[in-house]
Amino acid sequence: MLGLSKKDTTFLLIVIFLTLATPILLQPFPENSALAQFNAGYPDLMQRFAIYGIFAIGFNILFGLTGYLSFGHAAFLGVGSYSVVWMYKLLSYNVLPGLILAVIMSALFALLIGFISLRRSGIYFSILTLAFAQMSFNLAYSVLTPLTNGETGLQVYTNDPQVLMGPGSPSSPHFFGIVMNESAKVDIGGWQFTFSNGYYFCAIIAIIVFYLSLRIFRSPFGIMLRAIKTNQTRMSYTGLNSRPYTLAAFVISGMYAGLAGGLLASMDPLAGAERMQWTASGEVVLMTILGGAGTLMGPVLGAGFIKYFENIFSKINDNILHTWFSALPDGLEDALVFMLHPFIGKGWNLTLGLLFMLVVIFLPGGLIEGGNRIWGLITGKGRKSKRAVKDNDHHPKPSAHVN
Amino acid sequence: MRASFMDAIILQILNGLDKGSAYAMIALGLTLIFGTLGVVNFAHGALFMLGAFCAVTLQRMLSLSYTIEDPTQKDFLGNPLKVDTPYIVSWFGDSAGNAIVNWSVPLAILFAIPVMLLIGYVMERGLIKHFYKRPHADQILVTFGLAIVIQEIVKYFYGANPIPTPAPDMFRGSVDFGVMIGFAQNEIIYPYWRLVYFLFSAVIIGAVFAFLRFTTFGMVVRAGMADRETVGLLGINIDKRFTIMFGIAAAVAGLAGVMYAPINSPNYHMGMDFLVLSFVVVVVGGMGSLPGAVLAGFLLGILESFASMNEVKSVIPGIDQIIIYLVAIIILLTRPRGLMGRKGVMEE
């Protein structure tokens, strides 16, 4: 179906099902139960899952396939957000023109940055992209204030032209009348499920771009990109120029980032320069690595994982910990709470940093590799991989690219 | 007209020196680590920040005080006045004690050297060691993670706000630098501490170079940088020496941080701010070239200060924000090995 093999079709159908059922799946605990704080089925968070999923899928096309580590992808995220808000200001709150502009603008931007940065590889490429992103961030904060509204952030004011704004048009982001921040709430038993327009809009786009990335992974183009990661020198000896392929990958991943940025502004009509800061670029790197670079599902998992635990960990405080450990003896309870205290609430970044280091050190393939290893232990197939050849130059390691 | 033009130039050069000194010292450490161990250390900015917090810590330790009620003095409500006396003051007497508290930042140098050496040693043995054979991307990622962890730990203990850490009273105020070199009075005014910072960095950088140039240890390290395997074959434990060099690089970054504390109140993200720029400096100077890193550090610092002159900003708005990155991009594209880089070192 759709030009995919049978296995991939099943895979895609599972992904589509999971994505569409997210509002139900992420709400496993009834309201008012002690575990309700672990529910993630509210629109704001689910939208972020989908949007950062798109961002990470795009980043993975560049980093996962070609091995070029960009530290400047947040610049495209920012460009996308600014484009959408400008379209709100000039035309109307319909998100479609904005999203189209976001993709086009970020593609142009990526073409420019990529054309220059890709003349170098390795760490130089990372530093060049970092330099470009920091430049964009600094400019957005200072000189480009007429375009970006500086520190305040770009937003829609009442005296903006909004030429396409009819008398009946909604006054918040919408897609031909479907207002993003409206949602339907369904109560079943003790459970409350929220089906938000915004989430489904993001989810459908996410599924489409996931399908595109699946096709890219399976295409001859994708194989070229993998060849660049495996051995660029050998590729050029074969007579292939790798530059157009890397540039295409860079632009595609820039477009994904622009789209994600545009969607961020579609959910919340605001765009600020801090979205372009290099810590934001670092975040998408974290997501991709944590999930598993070079795999299809990894980056999405990583994005979901980080955004979910960011949300949960920031909410936990000492009182909640005390109730959890209340069964333990008092001294032990206090000691445990004291030990866990730095890692919760505002300490989420500490947990994230530690987790990230552990993943890079022990599990370079990310969560996906971890899952595979556990699966291998269960089914007893794990021993096979131990025979894998160590000599990377002559026997490039075959790596599983799906799941 | 001509004289005031010269004034402006000299003033901008001086203004660039303090930032340039910090860039040069951090970039020197980065290059040492890269040249010896071949590791790209994204946590180096965090080491700079730790140095600054060594100064904060020592200052806090020295000003630990006890409170007594002095019945002879009354506060405005008529109650006995509460007087805070640092333990140091009560131990060493008024004048010596107060001087020690006042000079806490320079004293922190003595405190920071062993601390930073130890941190560097532990970092190399505990973490970096396992990453020599892994790709550069992995090294970047794990040190990036480490930088986040260090930053968050500091934030946990010291809070998110900048902590003012004043220099000794003697160095408050400014020096009329113009008079010394034959200009009119009040033409070129320069804060004392920045001058101290520049001289300090010159001493440190000179010491590192002298250490590498004139000691047997330094000779072995330089030999190891040129050809690690052969030095190993000669029966010298080069790994151990490289570990020590990592410690020294950490100490240089830490000292840069200690002395920078009075210029810019330490906060937990100052390391990240400096790190990005220091990497740019290393690249401009030439990956693996020690003199290149120092030269590029000062050059970019001075260039940045020239770009922030109002005359320049009115011609090209926003240039002060991006000048360093712009220079880096141009250098990388036209001369990939940097200003003084050796041919073939990381030049793909």
Taking CB atoms and an 8 Å limit, are A131 and B280 in contact across chains? yes
What was the pLDDT predicted at A388? 47
Which residue did the predictor score with more confidence, A390 or A46? A46
pLDDT at A400 over 60: no
3-state secondary structure chain A: CCCCCHHHHHHHHHHHHHHHCHHHHCCCCCCCCHHHHHCCCCHHHHHHHHHHHHHHHHHHHHHHHHCCCCCCCHHHHHHHHHHHHHHHHHCCCEHHHHHHHHHHHHHHHHHHHHHHHCCCCHHHHHHHHHHHHHHHHHHHHCCCHHHHCCCCCEECCCCCCCCCCCCCCCCCCEECCEECCCEEEEEECCEEEEEEHHHHHHHHHHHHHHHHHHHHHHCHHHHHHHHHHHHHHHHHHCCCCCHHHHHHHHHHHHHHHHHHHHHHHHHCCEECHHHHCHHHHHHHHHHHHHHCCCCCCHHHHHHHHHHHHHHHHHHCCHHHHHHHHHHCCHHHHHHHHHHHHHHCHHHHHHHHHHHHHHHHHHCCCHHHHHHHHHHHHHHCCHHHHHCCCCCCCCCCCCCCCCC
Give the pLDDT confidence of B7-30 residue by residue, as tens digits: 778 888 888 888 899 999 999 999
What is the average pLDDT across A203-212?
94
**Which token pair is B45?**
């900015």
Amino acid A326: pLDDT? 76
Q: Which residue has the tokens 């050059």?
A: B299
Concatenate the DSSP letters of all residues of B210-250 into one string: HHHHHSHHHHHHHHHHH-HHHHHHTT--HHHHHHHHHHHHH
> Where is pLDDT greater, at B117 or B332?
B117
Contacts of B148 in chain A (CB under 8 A): 349-350, 352-353, 356
pTM of the entire structure? 0.84
Count contacts between A and B (CB, < 8 Å).
Answer: 108
pLDDT of residue A396: 52
Name the residue of chain B whose CA is nearest to A341's CA: B156
Q: Grade residue B258 by pLDDT with cuts at 50, 70 and 90.
A: very high
What confidence tens digit (pLDDT) does each residue in B122-180 have?
A: 999 988 888 888 887 788 889 988 998 999 899 888 988 888 888 888 887 777 777 77
* A361 contacts B142? CB cut-off 8 A: yes
pLDDT tens for residues B69-83? 777 777 777 777 777
As a whole number of angstroms, the distance between CA B46 and CA B280 comes to 16
ipTM exceeds 0.85: no
Question: A79 pLDDT exceeds 70?
Answer: yes
Residues on chain A bordering chain B, Cβ-to-Cβ distance under 8 angstroms: 67, 69, 116, 119-124, 126-128, 130-132, 134-135, 138-139, 141-144, 278-279, 282, 285, 289, 342, 347, 349-350, 352-354, 356-357, 360-361, 364
Cα–Cα distance between A403 and A14 in angstroms, integer?
Answer: 12
CA atoms within 13 A on the CB side of B17: 19
pLDDT at A152: 83
Q: Answer whether residue B3 shows pLDDT above 70.
A: no
**pLDDT for A394:** 52
Per-residue pLDDT of B294-324, as tens digits, reads 999 999 999 988 888 877 777 777 787 788 8
Contact A198, A43 (CB under 8 A): yes
- Residue B340 and residue A386: Cα distance in Å, rounded? 45
Strand pairing partners for A184?
A195
By the 10 Å C-beta count (0-12 exposed, 13-18 middle, 19+ buried), A235 is classed as: middle
User: Which pLDDT does position A403 carry in this prediction?
Assistant: 40
Task: Identify the structural domains of chain B with CATH numbers, from first to last.
Answer: 2-63+113-334 (1.10.3470)
**Contact residues, chain B, for A143 at CB < 8 Å:** 317-318, 321
Of B279, B321, B332, the CB nearest to A139: B321
* Partners of B175 in the β-ladder: B190
Asked if residues B12 and B301 have their Cβ atoms less than 8 Å apart, the reply is no
